[in-house]
């Protein structure tokens, strides 16, 4: 009984994904008929400049926002765990994770418009840092649960001043959390659509991959999109597998 | 020599330590003893630099260290939880303090190896803290501090977490290490057995203040107030029913003669269980009768719980294990007048 | 001893790029749309009264309805899944959970798109059914409330399973055995013992799906056919086409209030549980 039910559930979860993968190799490109195995759509995909430009933009956005958020989030987590934090700090660190993304998107648009800021990749990056910081902070904080806070004082007692204590004692212990947080942040940023959409402004130079995918789905479905989807699915699966492997030993203490 | 002058520390309006002054001699094994919340841990943290006193000064060898941060003080603290660095081996944990002093690698390696031998940690140098037993962790924590040759080593409840046998072993080890390194040790504990067994001198604290300071013998034999008398060892207290210039009267109107230098209007007399005997012995004997309510077995010695005429409260009396006694039997008890202390 | 200057950079950034923008939206909601799409600064509650007009209120109700159904279905399907997973050997459990969570990590748009392919009139499911001969004409599945619910359940199911699993796995197995020993049959044990004990996980999962569904934009947009099915679509439209930012702001505020109320409710339920 348990096996049957779980097989159905896994079927529910994976059939849509497998369908897309299968379609990407379908010569006819349509779900109505099987036109034979073909990698034609992948070839077309690789010739699509717009997609590569969007991919490049997305990587830039994800990388830079993760770098900034990694630092801000780790500092935030340290501040909250090493000293007592108050309700305001807790709430501020929590809100970005629960606010509906459309509300954040329009709020940021209103804000940037009011400041008469020109929009572009930079405004997307600034916006992404907001929720990425909150997520990095949350993940790094979990690392502090396994932390005997006395070791910080022990380090001072033995002669280690603040910076040395951070470099030699605190950071090595929270590092797995920082890495996990950054991977999460990168993934969230990479996949994020609606905030990017509202804060990218006009102009194709600031189109991210999710934005491009959205317009492809909404306004012109070509079978290329199945190939692109397959790629993205496999790419994210690989990232998850890598992060599991590399962080596994250290995180599961 | 460590001098604490008028140290006060408040948390939110409450005084954790109140106007406390104390002198501790070089090479002493000193204990701060008291119940939870008496301020002993706060005092320890003020001495080691993790709390800053609101008022008062601290001098070590005439040098005013009151405003020094922990990294520059000539003190080291052994934490109750040991606080070993989980990502470092035993060797690296111990070496950490010397590395901060920028000593050369050869020097450090040599000193680390020496102290590993002295603390019986050989064989464990390359282990990580999670692979160590409680006793081993404690030795690493100690070694880590001792290697820095501080003027004062502070220990926060060092034996509390250990089981009985390990406790006894560690008591001996601590005493030995202290003598070997000739460093002033200050331990904080709520366990009087620990304090009396280890320390050269003990300071009893209550509610942020010093109640009594003395050698273990002094404190035990001559507790100077009710609190200390009750806190250290066991004490039977008898409330007065009446008192006049010469005598202290018990419940059944029997009395003892007060010494000439009595405390003004004592409320109680106290007597240690071991000073109440089953046979008359000594001078100026006071005799009373009672009934055995219960016998508590402790192995070598037993305790008798006795209900008597002279007090409403039951009295504790010690007796040897071979003494033949029956429950509910009547018994006569004797003590020397001078064994009574007045409060 | 570290000063709390550590939290400052992060707090400043979030305050600047979230709190202040939200404050702006809050303020806008009391103003009016200007003639050319700008903002007229006269303070009133027009936007809020307008949102209670049937055209708009209907959307609010539909959003709530869809969110509620999606959350219920997700919990209903997810609970047995989590329960059965706990019946396996612990090594296999980790393996199963990993694969349950894996789809969650791929792109949201693509996951939603895959259902467009499946539910389409010319899509896989209709094709398969016609080929097998169960039906003759395609069933309209896409661009309905049904497809939106399917999309939402699909996207958030992994989290629900994880949440309920977390509660179940901390439950004491002996309690179940005790109940069976005292004569409880399967359903008895289930409803009187197990469900109440893992309520935090169930409630967390339910509210997670509800909150994320009610404010969702992508799923109703792609699977609902671009009509103004849910609040998310309406807000999107107000900011892009209708250019009535004040009205869109008031709708956003209403959404946030609903969300906060739910989270507050959740904390009350969990507090009572303790």
pLDDT the model gives residue A246: 65
Checking phi first, is residue C85 left (phi over 0); if not, alpha (psi -120 to 50) or beta?
Answer: alpha
Q: Does B11 touch chain A (CB under 8 A)?
A: no
Interatomic CA distance for residues A172 and A178, integer angstroms: 10
Q: Does C175 touch chain A (CB under 8 A)?
A: no
pLDDT the model gives residue B303: 87
Q: Report the complex ipTM.
A: 0.84
Q: Does C76 touch chain A (CB under 8 A)?
A: no
Q: Does a structural domain hold residue A43? A: no
Residue pLDDT, tens place only, B138-173: 999 999 999 999 999 999 999 888 888 888 888 998
**Do residues B91 and B157 both lie within one domain?**
yes
Structure tokens at B239: 């409330």
pLDDT the model gives residue C201: 85
Q: φ and ψ at B247, to 5 degrees? A: -130, 155
**Do residues B211 and B315 both lie within one domain?**
no
Residue pLDDT, tens place only, B213-251: 999 998 888 888 888 888 888 888 888 777 777 777 877
- Report the pLDDT averaged over residues B326-339: 85
Interatomic CA distance for residues B61 and B72, integer angstroms: 15
Q: Exposed/middle/buried for C241, CB within 10 Å: 0-12, 13-18, 19+?
A: exposed
Say if the Cβ atoms of C109 and A111 lie within 8 Å: no
Q: Exposed/middle/buried for C184, CB within 10 Å: 0-12, 13-18, 19+?
A: middle
CB contact set of C69 (below 8 Å; sequence gap of 6+): C149
Looking up tokens 């002054």 gives: B21
**Do residues B249 and B201 both lie within one domain?**
no
Q: Which chains sit next to A, with 3 or more Cβ pairs under 8 A?
A: B, C
Q: What percent of chain B has pLDDT over 90?
A: 43
Domain boundary among the residues B193, B208, B227 is at B227
Q: Which residue of A has its CA nearest to B96?
A: A158
Numbers of helices and strands, H then E, in chain A = 12, 0
Considering only CB atoms, which chain A residues are within 8 Å of B76? 157-158
- Return averaged pLDDT per consecutive 10 residues of chain A, 253 residues in all: 84 89 78 74 83 92 96 92 83 89 93 90 94 93 86 93 91 90 91 93 85 86 83 85 66 40
Looking up tokens 């947080």 gives: A181
**Do residues A158 and A103 both lie within one domain?**
yes
Q: Nearest C-alpha of chain C: how many angstroms from A113?
A: 10
pLDDT the model gives residue C36: 63
Q: Exposed/middle/buried for C186, CB within 10 Å: 0-12, 13-18, 19+?
A: exposed
Domain boundary among the residues B227, B259, B274 is at B227
- Helical axes C90-101 vs C145-169, angle rounded to 10°: 150
Q: Which residue of B has its CA nearest to A152?
A: B83
For the domain that residue B71 is a member of, what is the CATH number? 3.40.50.300
Residues A155, A156, A160: CA angle, nearest 5 degrees: 75
List the 118-137 stretch of C: residues with Cβ below 8 A of A: 118, 120, 122-124, 127
In total, how many domains does chain A have?
2
pLDDT the model gives residue A199: 93
Is residue C85 a contact partner of residue C153, using CB atoms and an 8 Å limit?
no
pLDDT the model gives residue C71: 94
Most A CBs within 10 Å, among B85, B97, B99, to test the A interface: B85
Nearest CB among A159, A161, A169 relative to B85 is that of A169
Interatomic CA distance for residues A53 and A192, integer angstroms: 17
For the domain that residue B308 is a member of, what is the CATH number? 2.40.50.140
pLDDT the model gives residue B321: 78
Domain boundary among the residues B173, B197, B227 is at B227
* Separation of CA C173 from chain center: 31
Residue pLDDT, tens place only, C260-269: 898 888 888 7
Nearest CB among C10, C108, C115 relative to A73 is that of C10
pLDDT the model gives residue A253: 33
Interatomic CA distance for residues A63 and A22, integer angstroms: 31
In a 3-state reduction of DSSP, which class is residue B22? strand
Residue pLDDT, tens place only, B85-135: 999 999 999 999 999 998 899 999 999 999 999 888 989 989 999 999 988
Is residue B211 a contact partner of residue B204, using CB atoms and an 8 Å limit?
yes
Task: Determine the CATH number of domain C56-273.
Answer: 1.10.3720.10
**Structural domain of B6:** 2-227
Mean predicted lDDT score pLDDT of chain C: 83
**Do residues B241 and B145 both lie within one domain?**
no
- Report the pLDDT averaged over residues B200-205: 93
- Report the pLDDT averaged over residues C62-85: 91
**Do residues A113 and A169 both lie within one domain?**
yes
pLDDT the model gives residue A65: 96
pLDDT the model gives residue A252: 41
Q: Does a structural domain hold residue A211? A: yes
- A to C CB pairs, distance under 8 Å: 223
Q: Does A92 touch chain C (CB under 8 A)?
A: yes
pLDDT the model gives residue A251: 45
**Do residues A172 and A210 both lie within one domain?**
yes
pLDDT the model gives residue C37: 62
**Do residues B255 and B310 both lie within one domain?**
yes
Instruction: Please say if the pLDDT value at position C1 is more than 50.
Output: no
Q: Does C18 touch chain A (CB under 8 A)?
A: yes
Question: Strand pairing partners for B39?
Answer: none
Q: Which chains sit next to C, with 3 or more Cβ pairs under 8 A?
A: A
Q: Which residue of C has its CA nearest to A90?
A: C11
* Separation of CA B231 from chain center: 10
Domain ranges of chain C: 56-273
Considering only CB atoms, which chain C residues are within 8 Å of A191? 106-109
**Do residues A15 and A64 both lie within one domain?**
no
**Do residues A26 and A100 both lie within one domain?**
no
**Do residues A231 and A133 both lie within one domain?**
yes
Long-range contacts of A39-44 (CB under 8 A, 24+ apart): A41/A223, A41/A224, A41/A226, A41/A227, A42/A227, A44/A224, A44/A227
pLDDT the model gives residue C180: 65
B5 confidence band (pLDDT: 50, 70, 90): very high
**Do residues A31 and A58 both lie within one domain?**
no
pLDDT the model gives residue A192: 93
Q: Does a structural domain hold residue A196? A: yes
In total, how many domains does chain B have?
2
Q: Which residue of B has its CA nearest to A250?
A: B87
**Structural domain of A12:** 1-38
pLDDT the model gives residue B189: 93
Q: Does A167 touch chain B (CB under 8 A)?
A: no
Is residue C208 a contact partner of residue C70, using CB atoms and an 8 Å limit?
no
Least confident of A198-212, B211-225, B327-341, C122-136: C122-136
Residue pLDDT, tens place only, C155-175: 999 989 988 888 888 776 777
Most A CBs within 10 Å, among B71, B88, B143, to test the A interface: B71
Residue pLDDT, tens place only, B238-292: 887 777 777 778 777 777 777 766 666 777 888 888 888 888 888 878 888 888 8
Residue pLDDT, tens place only, B15-58: 889 899 999 999 999 999 999 888 899 999 999 999 999 999 99
Q: Does C15 touch chain A (CB under 8 A)?
A: yes
Say if the Cβ atoms of A13 and C100 lie within 8 Å: yes
Give the residue with greater pLDDT, A196 vs C183: A196
Q: Does a structural domain hold residue A44? A: no
């Amino acid at each position: 009984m348990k096996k049957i039910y779980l097989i159905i559930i896994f079927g529910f979860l994976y059939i849509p994904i497998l369908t897309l993968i299968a379609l990407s190799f379908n010569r006819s490109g349509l779900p109505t008929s099987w036109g034979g195995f073909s990698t034609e759509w992948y070839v077309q995909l690789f010739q699509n400049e717009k997609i590569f430009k969007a991919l490049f933009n997305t990587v830039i956005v994800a990388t830079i926002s993760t770098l900034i958020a990694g630092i801000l989030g780790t500092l935030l987590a340290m501040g909250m765990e090493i000293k007592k934090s108050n309700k305001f700090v807790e709430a501020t660190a929590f809100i970005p994770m629960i606010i509906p993304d459309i509300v954040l998107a329009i709020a940021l648009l209103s804000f940037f418009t009011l400041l008469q800021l020109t929009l572009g990749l930079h405004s997307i990056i600034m916006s992404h840092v907001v929720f990425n910081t909150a997520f990095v902070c949350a993940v790094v904080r979990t690392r502090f649960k396994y932390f005997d806070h006395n070791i910080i004082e022990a380090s001072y007692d033995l002669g280690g001043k603040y910076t040395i204590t951070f470099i030699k004692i605190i950071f090595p212990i929270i590092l797995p959390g920082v890495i996990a947080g950054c991977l999460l942040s990168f993934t969230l940023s990479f996949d994020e659509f609606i905030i990017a959409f509202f804060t990218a402004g006009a102009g194709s130079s600031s189109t991210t991959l999710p934005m491009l995918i959205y317009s492809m789905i909404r306004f012109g479905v070509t079978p290329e999109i199945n190939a692109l989807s397959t790629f993205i699915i496999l790419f994210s699966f690989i990232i998850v597998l890598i992060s599991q492997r590399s962080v596994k030993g250290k995180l599961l203490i | 020599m460590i001098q604490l002058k008028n140290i006060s520390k408040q948390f939110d309006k409450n005084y954790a330590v109140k106007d406390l002054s104390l002198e501790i001699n070089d090479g002493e094994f000193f204990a701060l003893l008291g119940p939870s919340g008496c301020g002993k841990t706060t005092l320890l943290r003020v001495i080691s630099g993790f709390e800053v006193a609101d008022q008062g000064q601290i001098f070590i060898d005439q040098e005013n260290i009151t405003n020094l941060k922990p990294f520059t003080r000539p003190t080291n603290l052994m934490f109750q939880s040991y606080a070993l660095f989980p990502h470092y081996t035993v060797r690296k944990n111990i070496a950490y303090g010397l590395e901060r002093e920028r000593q050369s690698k050869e020097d450090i390696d040599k000193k680390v190896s020496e102290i590993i031998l002295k603390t019986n940690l050989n064989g464990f140098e390359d282990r990580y803290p999670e692979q160590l037993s409680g006793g081993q962790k404690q030795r690493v924590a100690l070694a880590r501090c001792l290697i820095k040759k501080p003027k004062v080593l502070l220990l926060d409840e060092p034996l509390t977490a250990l089981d009985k046998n390990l406790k006894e072993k560690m008591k001996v080890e601590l005493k030995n290490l202290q003598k070997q390194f000739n460093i002033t040790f200050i331990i904080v504990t709520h366990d009087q057995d620990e304090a009396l067994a280890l320390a050269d001198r003990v300071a009893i604290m209550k509610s942020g203040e010093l109640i009594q300071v003395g050698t273990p013998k002094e404190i035990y034999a001559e507790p100077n107030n009710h609190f200390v008398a009750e806190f250290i060892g066991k004490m039977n207290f008898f409330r007065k029913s009446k008192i006049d210039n010469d005598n202290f009267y018990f419940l059944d109107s029997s009395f003892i003669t007060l010494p000439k230098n009595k405390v003004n209007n004592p409320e109680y007399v106290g007597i240690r269980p071991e000073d109440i005997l089953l046979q008359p012995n000594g001078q100026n004997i006071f005799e009373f009768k009672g009934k055995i309510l219960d016998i508590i077995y402790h192995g070598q010695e037993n305790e008798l719980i006795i209900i008597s005429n002279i007090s409403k409260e039951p009295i504790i009396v010690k007796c040897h294990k071979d003494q033949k006694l029956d429950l509910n039997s009547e018994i006569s008890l004797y003590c020397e007048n001078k064994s009574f202390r007045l409060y | 001893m570290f000063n709390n200057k550590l939290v400052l950079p992060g707090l400043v950034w979030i305050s600047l790029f979230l709190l202040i923008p939200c404050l702006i939206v809050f303020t806008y909601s009391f103003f009016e749309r200007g003639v050319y799409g700008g903002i007229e600064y006269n303070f009133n509650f027009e936007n809020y009264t307008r949102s209670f007009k049937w055209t708009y209120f209907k959307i609010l109700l539909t959003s709530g309805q869809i969110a509620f159904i999606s959350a219920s279905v997700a919990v209903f399907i997810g609970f047995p899944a989590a329960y059965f997973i706990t019946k396996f050997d612990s090594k296999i459990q980790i393996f199963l959970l990993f694969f349950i969570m894996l789809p969650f990590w791929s792109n949201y748009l693509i996951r939603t798109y895959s259902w467009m392919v499946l539910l389409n009139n010319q899509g896989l499911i209709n094709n398969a059914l016609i080929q097998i001969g169960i039906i003759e004409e395609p069933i309209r599945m896409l661009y309905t409330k049904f497809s939106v619910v399917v999309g939402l359940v699909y996207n958030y199911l992994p989290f629900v399973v994880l949440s309920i699993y977390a509660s179940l796995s901390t439950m004491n197995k002996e309690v179940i055995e005790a109940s069976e020993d005292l004569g409880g049959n399967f359903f008895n044990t289930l409803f009187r013992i197990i469900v109440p004990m893992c309520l935090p996980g169930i409630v967390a999962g339910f509210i997670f799906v509800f909150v994320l569904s009610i404010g969702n934009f992508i799923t109703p947009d792609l699977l609902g056919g671009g009509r103004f099915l849910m609040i998310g679509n309406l807000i999107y439209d107000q900011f892009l086409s209708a250019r009535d930012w004040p009205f869109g702001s008031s709708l956003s505020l209403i959404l946030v209030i609903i969300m906060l109320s739910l989270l507050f409710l959740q904390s009350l339920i969990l507090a009572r549980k303790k």
